[in-house]
Amino acid sequence: MSDNTTLSIAVLSGKGGVGKSNLALNISFALNLKGARVLLIDCDFGLANLDVLLGITPPKTIQNILDSNLKPADVLVPVNTSAGRSFDLLPASSGVAGSFDEQRKAPALLTKKISALARRYDYVILDVGAGISPTVLNFASMALMRVLVITPEPTSLTDSYALVKVLSAGRGIRDYLVLVNQIENAKQETQAFKRLSAACTHFLNISPVFLGGIPDDNNMQEAVRRQTPLLREFPESKSVKHIFAVAEKLNKLRASMLARIAALDPLTPVPK
C-alpha cells in the first residue's frame, strides 16, 4: 500500500454509524494541522460519505480510477485545514454497486493504481465500510495499521469482536488499535475497551491496544448537518482535544515505525 515512510491506517468497525467517517475525517484534519501530509480515501464504495461530510460534489471519483485509466492525481480533492495547508481526499461514488466479484477485487486494483501516489504522503487513511464483507476484509488486510472504532453499545462491541475474529482467523491479523467513540464519561470508555479486550484475549488470544476515547459531542452532529468538519466549524468543542490526542499518538507510532526501519537499513548513516 505504501513505501517505508508512509503509514497506512484502515479505520474499521463491525457496526455502522459508530463514527468512522467523522473520526477518519477529523483525525486527517488534525494530522494535517500538525504538519503531516495526509491522503484520506473513501473506501466505502457505493455508499460514499466523506464528500457529503465536506459538502462537496467531486467531479471524479475512485470509480473513474477503477473503470478507466484516469490518473489518481486527477481525482484528488484538496481539503483546506488552515491558511495554505490542506490534505487530499480521494472521494468515492454513491449508489454505484459493481458485481460481487468487482467489489471483492476493488481493494487490490485500487492499491495497484495508487501505490505511486500514496508514497508522497506521511499517512494514508482508509475510511472503510462497516461489516465483514470481502471488500472490508481486503482493505483491512492491506493497511499497515488498523483502528477499530467502537461505542459503548453492546451491539457495537459484539460486531467489533466478530470483525476481529474473522480478520484473525481468515487473514492472521492480530494487531488492533481501539478508539472508543461517543463516551459520556471515563468509566464508560474503560468499560467498553475492557469488554472488547477481555473477549479478544479470552477467545482469540489477541490483545488490542487502547488508542483513545472521544466524548459524545452534540457539535459533531451539528458539524455533520452543516457539512463541514468539526475541527473547522467548532475548534473549541469538547471532543477536539481528544481528536488531537489521537493524532499525537499516531505521530508517535509513526515516528517509532520510522526509527525501527532506519535501524534495519544498512545504508542509513550511523550518528558518530
Ligand X SMILES: Nc1ncnc2c1ncn2[C@@H]1O[C@H](COP(=O)(O)OP(=O)(O)O)[C@@H](O)[C@H]1O
> Of residues 168-187, which lie at the interface with ligand X (CB under 6 A)?
181-182
For position 13 contacting ligand X by CB under 6 A, the verdict is yes
Closest CA to 181 of 30, 12, 36, 29: 12
Residue 19 binding result from ligand X, Mg ion, none, given CB thresholds of 5 to 8 Å by partner type: ligand X
Residue 220 binding result from Mg ion, ligand X, none, given CB thresholds of 5 to 8 Å by partner type: ligand X
End-to-end Cα separation, the chain, in angstroms: 34
Could you tell me which residues come within 8 angstroms of residue 86 by beta carbon, excluding any fewer than 6 positions away?
32, 78, 79, 80
For position 17 contacting ligand X by CB under 6 A, the verdict is yes
Residue 8 binding result from Mg ion, ligand X, none, given CB thresholds of 5 to 8 Å by partner type: none
Instruction: Kindly indicate which of the ranges 110-118, 218-226, 246-254, 258-266 contains the residues binding ligand X, using the contact rule CB under 6 A.
Output: 218-226
For position 21 contacting Mg ion by CB under 5 A, the verdict is yes
For position 156 contacting ligand X by CB under 6 A, the verdict is no
For position 239 contacting ligand X by CB under 6 A, the verdict is yes
Which residue of 102, 153, 216, 233 would you call a contact of ligand X, by CB under 6 A? 216
CB of 223 to ligand X, least distance (A): 8
Name the site residues for Mg ion (rule: CB under 5 A). 20-21, 49
